[in-house]
Amino acid sequence: MENFKFKKEFGQNFIFDGNLLSAIVSDAGITSDDEVLEIGAGAGTLTKKLCEKAKKVVSYEIDKNLTEHLYEIQKQNQNLQVEMKDALKENIDEIEKHFSGNYKIVANLPYYITSPMIFKFLEQTQRVSSMTVMVQKEVAERFSAKENSKEYGIATIMINYHADVEYLRTVGRQMFTPPPNVDSALIKITPANKEKANNDEIFALMVKTAFSSRRKTLSNNLSKLGISKSDVDNAIGDFGKPPTTRAEQLSIHEFILLSNKLQKFVKI
């Protein structure tokens, strides 16, 4: 590892601090019954800590330059399986072959794949019991935002439509090698059986369009979908919201009601 060259294109910001690594494993609630998927092993520092607690750890890493180093760690840990592959491209069935039942995800993810990675596991499988992931602080704030705040938006609604999100701890940029330009936060995403709209695709489109211009009213934004303002105003009036309402003033439940009422006007 001495001569290792960190690669920006792989989002490589490693953690070497033992206290932080232990805190991540403990926040994830890993016990000797757990099978764990780690995405982005890097130098294997978190991997080793996970192996101390878990029944089994499967660790994906895209950077072939880390192969020898990670295979060496695998040799020393009977419960570790290293996969030198792109976890984002890997078929979910292929990943899940390694596990006997449900599994937990723990990852210090590269920032640019945070959302695709999280939504891949939220949308394509029921077998993930929790995801404890390090993300950019701003992303963590958006995921855990409350209504009527400037952080509340598409990301908040789309993740909370599938899961509960807990903001665990802020992690300063100086904790990483090399330090990134932003601070991070550890969050725990717990998939849950939540209320769903009649049509997920229309729901997603409606949420996206409702927030397309944050200063405009809901009915103004939704008119982009060809829905008349009076239809929107009637629909939100049914749950007591005035025509001046903006997207950030609607709860997820209200977005679901709205989507179900207006779906007949939307072509997809």
In the complex, which residues of this chain contact ligand SAH (CB under 6 A)?
10-15, 39-43, 45-46, 60-63, 86-88, 108, 110, 113
CB of 183 to ligand SAH, least distance (A): 15
Q: Under a CB-based contact definition with an 8 Å cutoff, are residues 220 and 229 in contact?
A: yes
CB of 33 to ligand SAH, least distance (A): 23
CB of 250 to ligand SAH, least distance (A): 34
Residue closer to ligand SAH, measured from CB, 117 or 252: 117
CB of 41 to ligand SAH, least distance (A): 6
Strand order in the sheet with 80-83: 80-83, 56-60, 35-39, 103-108, 128-136, 184-191, 163-171
Residue closer to ligand SAH, measured from CB, 114 or 160: 114
Strands 35-39 and 56-60: parallel
Q: Under a CB-based contact definition with an 8 Å cutoff, are residues 93 and 121 in contact?
A: no
Comparing CA positions, the residue from 223, 221, 257, 259 lying closest to residue 239 is: 257
Which element (helix H / strand E) includes 69?
helix 67-76
**Residues 67, 216: Cα–Cα separation, whole Å:** 51
Q: How many CB atoms lie within 10 A of CB 225?
A: 18
- For residue 38, which phi and psi values (nearest 5 degrees)? -105, 135
Which element (helix H / strand E) includes 84?
none
Residue closer to ligand SAH, measured from CB, 11 or 153: 11
CB of 69 to ligand SAH, least distance (A): 11
Residue closer to ligand SAH, measured from CB, 42 or 191: 42
Omega cis (within 30) before 242? no
Residue closer to ligand SAH, measured from CB, 37 or 207: 37
* 3-state SS class at 120: helix
CB of 18 to ligand SAH, least distance (A): 12
Amino acid at 191: P
CB of 45 to ligand SAH, least distance (A): 5
Residue closer to ligand SAH, measured from CB, 47 or 217: 47
Comparing CA positions, the residue from 159, 169, 154, 157 lying closest to residue 191 is: 159
Residue closer to ligand SAH, measured from CB, 86 or 201: 86
